[in-house]
């Protein structure tokens, strides 16, 4: 029975293909709000960051924060958009308790950026995802319903916090592509330092528009919007769920209606929230308190000059200049702070591949164990770039073996000591002088006569065993290559 069900699902999903577009809300890293001087600091006491403007008192005048416009232009240039020379801020009218003005200031016709694209890569294949637009808007406040049983509370700290809404064309064909697009976009915004990309705190969140159509057709199916997805896992699971639900509904002869749905994380399903309103329901009109926004050539040129190297360019540079494999380059450039950490280490010791191994291997493992991998700032990391580079240098200079380096690394996690200091304090320096290695080899040969006979009878495999015994006798400190040479000489009678 269970098997029949699985087969039915597979059949259904093969007959229909998904079409996905995403709307991302990225909170901008400005110090003050979009239309007033209030702080944007997260986690403060409710309503601590408010004033008459962001509370929507009558008669107040909004003043557009220049930094918000600059950040929007930055994001637009980095995603190959056209920057609109004269754009308009509009009122989007709807009533909700967390929006006391009764309207949100946003952009409708004439957004500040239009017609860009983001190139993504999935399993080695590249894909071009078009952007419809990027516009600026203010966030709304937050309703709190469960603090007191008989009342609801409103916190307006978030009201007026600047957001970019980044809208893609329906160019994605799977949940995996949507995930890759989101990761790429997040990295770009983080590199630009316009958004911290923190999904947990809601500063990077997304709505997904999902429809399905019979394979081989071109007309779009009924579009269903899933609101407020706030983790990569939620994006993935919610889109997968919707594709299956819609395909099965059509397969069973049912009809889909355009609506907005919510993702229920605990039940792992989407449920209907409301039928989708269309633009005319919001009665958009230009905000009479704000003049049209004019962006001149000089401003665009100045912002363009301030753009630093973006993730895709940095990745290809790591591959071409440093000879790193695509896999390493991808991981190292996935976040700007990681790439910076790597390059800082590289300045001290230039062994790119070994440094990369330590970062994407050992360091990432530790960050994951300590739940630091989603920390946005590398200052919280347990090992500095300088110390990591010095560790690799000690290996390359033959001062310690790769194996001992693992021990030193563990000790580095516990203190701020330089690896050289740890090595000397713990007496871990590699033994390279032939005399003491020779003594150890002779002792091992004397106490393993059986293996020595086997080797001399032509069994090469015991050689590795004997090397291991010497390393053990020297507590891993003997220079492995020297051990190999001396051991072979002794066994073949040259020593």
Q: Which stretch binds Zn ion (CB under 5 A): 54-62, 146-154, 409-417, 468-476?
A: 54-62
Q: Which stretch binds Zn ion (CB under 5 A): 34-42, 85-93, 190-198, 401-409?
A: 34-42
Q: Using the rule CB under 5 A, is 54 a contact of Zn ion?
A: yes
Smallest gap from Cβ 164 to Zn ion, in A, equals: 19
User: Which residue, 295, 278, 225, 285, is CA-closest to 105?
Assistant: 285
**Nearer residue to Zn ion within complex by CB, 225 or 287:** 287
Smallest gap from Cβ 57 to Zn ion, in A, equals: 10
User: Which residue, 158, 255, 174, is CA-closest to 210?
Assistant: 174
Site residue total, Zn ion (CB under 5 A): 5
**Nearer residue to Zn ion within complex by CB, 36 or 238:** 36
Smallest gap from Cβ 55 to Zn ion, in A, equals: 7
Smallest gap from Cβ 37 to Zn ion, in A, equals: 7
Long-range contacts of 446-453 (CB under 8 A, 24+ apart): 452/491
Smallest gap from Cβ 162 to Zn ion, in A, equals: 12
**Nearer residue to Zn ion within complex by CB, 38 or 164:** 38
**Nearer residue to Zn ion within complex by CB, 33 or 91:** 33
**Nearer residue to Zn ion within complex by CB, 53 or 389:** 53
Smallest gap from Cβ 39 to Zn ion, in A, equals: 9
**Nearer residue to Zn ion within complex by CB, 38 or 367:** 38
**Nearer residue to Zn ion within complex by CB, 53 or 428:** 53
Smallest gap from Cβ 399 to Zn ion, in A, equals: 59
Smallest gap from Cβ 51 to Zn ion, in A, equals: 3
Q: Which stretch binds Zn ion (CB under 5 A): 36-44, 279-287, 332-340, 414-422?
A: 36-44
Q: Using the rule CB under 5 A, is 36 a contact of Zn ion?
A: yes
Among residues 20, 53, 114, 161, the one that binds Zn ion under rule CB under 5 A:
53
Binding mask 402-431 for Zn ion (x = CB under 5 A): ------------------------------
Q: Using the rule CB under 5 A, is 51 a contact of Zn ion?
A: yes
**Nearer residue to Zn ion within complex by CB, 160 or 179:** 160
Smallest gap from Cβ 36 to Zn ion, in A, equals: 3
**Nearer residue to Zn ion within complex by CB, 55 or 391:** 55
Q: Which stretch binds Zn ion (CB under 5 A): 52-60, 115-123, 416-424, 484-492?
A: 52-60
Q: Using the rule CB under 5 A, is 38 a contact of Zn ion?
A: yes
Positions that interact with Zn ion (CB under 5 A): 36, 38, 51, 53-54
């Amino acid at each position: 029975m269970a098997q029949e069900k699985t087969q039915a699902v597979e059949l259904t999903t093969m007959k229909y293909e998904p079409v996905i577009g995403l709307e991302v809300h990225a909170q901008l890293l400005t110090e003050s709000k979009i239309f007033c001087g209030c702080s944007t600091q997260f986690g403060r006491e409710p309503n601590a960051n408010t004033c008459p403007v962001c509370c929507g008192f009558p008669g107040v005048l909004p003043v557009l924060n220049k930094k918000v416009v600059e950040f929007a232009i930055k994001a637009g240039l980095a995603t190959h958009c056209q920057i609109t020379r004269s754009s308009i801020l509009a009122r989007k009218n709807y009533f909700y308790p967390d929006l006391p003005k009764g309207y949100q200031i946003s952009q409708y016709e004439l957004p500040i950026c239009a017609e860009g694209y983001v190139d993504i890569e999935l399993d080695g294949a590249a894909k071009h995802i078009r952007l419809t637009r990027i516009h600026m808007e203010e966030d709304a406040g937050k309703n709190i319903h469960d603090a007191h049983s008989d009342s609801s509370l409103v916190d307006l700290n978030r009201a007026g916090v600047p957001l970019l809404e980044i809208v893609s064309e329906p160019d994605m064909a799977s949940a995996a592509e949507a995930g890759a697009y989101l990761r790429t976009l997040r990295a770009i915004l983080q590199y630009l330092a316009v958004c911290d990309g923190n999904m947990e705190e809601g500063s990077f969140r997304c709505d997904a528009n999902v429809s399905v159509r019979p394979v081989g057709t071109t007309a779009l199916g009924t579009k269903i919007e899933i609101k407020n997805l706030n983790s990569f896992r939620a994006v993935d699971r919610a889109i997968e769920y919707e594709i299956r639900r819609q395909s099965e509904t059509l397969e069973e002869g049912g009809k889909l209606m355009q609506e907005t749905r919510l993702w229920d994380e605990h039940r792992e399903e989407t449920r209907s929230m409301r039928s989708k309103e269309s633009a005319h329901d919001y009665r958009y009109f230009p905000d009479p308190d704000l003049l049209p926004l004019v962006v001149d050539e000089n401003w665009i040129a100045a912002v363009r000059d301030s753009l630093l190297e973006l993730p895709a360019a940095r990745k290809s540079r790591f591959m071409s200049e440093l000879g790193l494999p695509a896999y390493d380059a991808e991981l190292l450039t996935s976040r700007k702070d990681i790439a910076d950490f790597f390059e800082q280490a590289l300045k001290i010791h230039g062994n790119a591949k070994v440094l990369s191994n330590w970062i994407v291997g050992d360091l990432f493992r530790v960050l994951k164990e300590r739940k630091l991998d989603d920390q946005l700032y590398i200052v919280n990391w347990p090992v500095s770039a300088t110390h990591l580079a010095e560790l690799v240098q000690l290996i390359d200079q033959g001062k310690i073996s790769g194996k001992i380096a693992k021990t030193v690394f563990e000790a580095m996690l516990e203190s701020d000591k330089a690896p050289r200091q740890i090595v000397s304090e713990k007496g871990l320096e590699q033994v390279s002088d032939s005399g003491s290695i020779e003594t150890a080899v002779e002792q091992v040969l004397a106490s393993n006569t059986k293996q020595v006979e086997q080797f001399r009878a032509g069994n090469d495999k015991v050689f590795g065993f004997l090397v291991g015994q010497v390393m053990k006798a020297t507590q891993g400190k003997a220079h492995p290559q020297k051990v190999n040479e001396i051991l072979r000489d002794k066994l073949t009678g040259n020593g």
